[in-house]
Structure 1
Amino acid sequence: MNITFSIIVFLLLGAALGAILGWAQKALTPESDSTVDELEAMLPGGQCGQCGEVGCRQAAEKMAQGLLSPNCCPPGGRALAASIASFLGIELGASDNNQGPVVAYIDEANCSGCGRCFKACPFDAIVGANRQMHTVMNAICTGCQLCEKACSQDCIEMLPVTEQINTWQWPKPQTA
Structure 2
Amino acid sequence: MIFIIFVVLGSLIGLGLGVASRRFAVEGDPLVDEIEALLPGGQCGQCGKAGCRQAAEAMVNGEMGVDGCPPASGAFRSAAAKVLGISMSSDDQDIIWLAKVDESHCTGCTRCFKACPYDAIVGATKQVHTVVSDVCTGCKLCADTCPQGCIEMYSPQMVANRWFWPKPIEARG
Same-fold status (TM-score > 0.5): yes
Say which of 65, 68, 87 aligns to 1:69: 65
Instruction: Name the residue aligned to 1:119.
Output: 114
Aligned pairs for 1:1-176 (under 5 A) are: 5-95=1-91, 97-98=92-93, 100-160=95-155, 167-169=165-167, 172=170
Residue 118 of structure 1: how far off its partner (Å): 1.2
Give the unaligned 5+ runs of structure 2: none
The C-alpha deviation readout for 1:80-121, integer Å capped at 9, x for no partner, is: 2112222222221244x1453423221111111111111222
Which amino acid in the other structure matches residue 124 of structure 1?
D
Query: CA–CA distance in 2 between the matches of 1:35 and 1:104?
Result: 32
Q: Secondary structure at the match of 1:22?
A: helix
Contact in 2 for aligned 1:74/1:100 (Cα 8 Å): no
TM-score norm. by structure 1 comes to 0.78
Q: What is the number of residues matched between the two proteins?
A: 170
Quick check: which one's helix share is greater?
Answer: 1
Worse-matched range after superposition: 77-86 or 142-151:
142-151
TM-score norm. by structure 2 comes to 0.79
Between the aligned residues of both structures, percent identity stands at: 45
Give the unaligned 5+ runs of structure 1: none
CA RMSD of aligned residues (A): 2.7
CA 1:136 to 1:24, structure 2 compared with 1: closer, same or farther past 3 Å? farther
